[in-house]
């Protein structure tokens, strides 16, 4: 029987190594795998590269992981937002590396990794400092910049419903980066609000098929947002 459900956080986090590239779903707090981030904090892996839209806020979750010195490098589109105090401190002190990527380029680079595309030409950032020192080329009279696939060793994903195959649906705008990140990592770990029987998810409405998913941990809402 295919059964990707795991019974404990320890089992969910098993095997995440120092130096991993970790893709973190979510846009702000919505669709962010809060429980799995806590699990990663407890698990202990360090020297991580984190790929996420934002650089955390407050002193919990991703911010806490950074504050503990476990994140060597962050790749994101919007590091400096209200409450990103830990990032600001670390960055000012030169204790964290940062790669700024336009949000759409970030999403497309992650998708490219999941889709086996090594690199692609995008018009975003042409003529700006984010395209400096990057290869550029014209197609049909328009300028494009070459961007590379961004794969992860691990993806931490928040889903709404999951079955034992790892088929997933999301809730509203919590979908965001989660489906593309789920495609792009060697080890995709999901926290799901609801576990459902195999066959109850509509095959027309599954957003992430289980082929992209390694492990599913049941994390009901109240626990995730406590």
Partner 1 sequence: MPDTRTAPAGLSRSAIACRIAEDIPEGWYVNLGIGIPTLVADYVPPEREVVFHSENGVLGIGPAPSPDSVDPWLINAGKEPVTLRAGGAFVHHADSFAIIRGGHLDLCVLGAFEVAENGDLANWTTGRNDAAAAVGGAMDLAAGAKRLWVAMEHTTKEGAPRLVSRCSFPLTAPACVLRVYTNLAVIDVTPEGFLLLETAPGVSFEAVQERTATRLHRPQTAGSR
DSSP summary character for residue 104: H
Near partner 1 in 90-109, by CB under 8 A: 91, 98, 100-105, 107-108
* Largest Cα–Cα separation, the chain: 55
Closest contact distance (angstroms) between CB of 142 and a copy of itself is 7
Residue of the chain from 14, 127, 137, 223 that contacts partner 1 (CB under 8 A): 127
Q: Which of 43, 46, 60, 77 binds partner 1 (CB under 8 A)?
A: 77
> Which of 186, 163, 41, 222 has its CA nearest to residue 113?
186
Buried b (16+ CB within 10 A) or exposed e, 5-25: bbeebeebbeebeeebbbbbb
Under rule CB under 8 A, residue 196 binds partner 1: no
Using CB under 8 A as the binding rule, whether residue 110 contacts partner 1 is answered as yes
221 φ/ψ angles, rounded to the nearest 5 degrees = -50, -50
Number of residues that bind partner 1 (CB under 8 A): 67
- Residue 30 near which of a copy of itself, partner 1, none (CB within 5-8 Å, type-dependent): partner 1
> Is residue 157 close enough to count as binding partner 1 by CB under 8 A?
no
Find all residues with CB under 8 Å of 88, minimum gap 6, and list them: 80
Question: Residue 159's CB: how many other CB atoms inside 10 A?
Answer: 29
**Which residues make up the interface to partner 1 (CB under 8 A)?**
1-2, 27-31, 77-81, 88, 91, 98, 100-105, 107-108, 110-111, 113-117, 122-130, 163-165, 167, 170-180, 183, 198-199, 201, 203-204, 206-207, 209-212, 225
């Amino acid at each position: 029987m295919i059964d990707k459900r795991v019974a404990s956080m320890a089992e969910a986090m098993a095997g995440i190594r120092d130096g991993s590239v970790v893709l973190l779903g979510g846009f702000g707090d919505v669709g962010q795998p809060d429980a799995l981030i806590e699990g990663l904090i407890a698990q202990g892996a360090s020297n991580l590269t984190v790929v996420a839209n934002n650089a955390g806020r407050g002193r919990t979750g991703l911010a806490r992981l950074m504050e503990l010195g476990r994140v060597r490098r962050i790749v994101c589109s919007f590091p400096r937002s209200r409450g990103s105090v830990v990032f600001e401190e670390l960055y000012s002190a030169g204790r964290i590396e940062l790669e700024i990527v336009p949000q759409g380029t970030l999403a497309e680079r992650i998708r490219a990794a999941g889709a086996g595309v090594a690199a692609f030409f995008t018009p975003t950032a042409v003529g700006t400092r984010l395209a400096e020192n990057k290869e550029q080329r014209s197609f049909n009279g328009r300028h494009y910049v070459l961007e590379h696939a961004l794969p992860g060793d691990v993806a931490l994903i928040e889903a709404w419903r999951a079955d034992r195959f790892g088929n997933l649906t999301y809730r509203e705008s919590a979908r965001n980066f989660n489906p593309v990140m789920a495609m792009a990592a060697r080890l995709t770990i999901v926290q799901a609000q609801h576990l459902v029987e195999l066959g109850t998810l509509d095959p027309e409405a599954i957003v992430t098929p289980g082929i992209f998913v390694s492990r599913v941990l049941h994390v009901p809402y109240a626990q995730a947002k406590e």
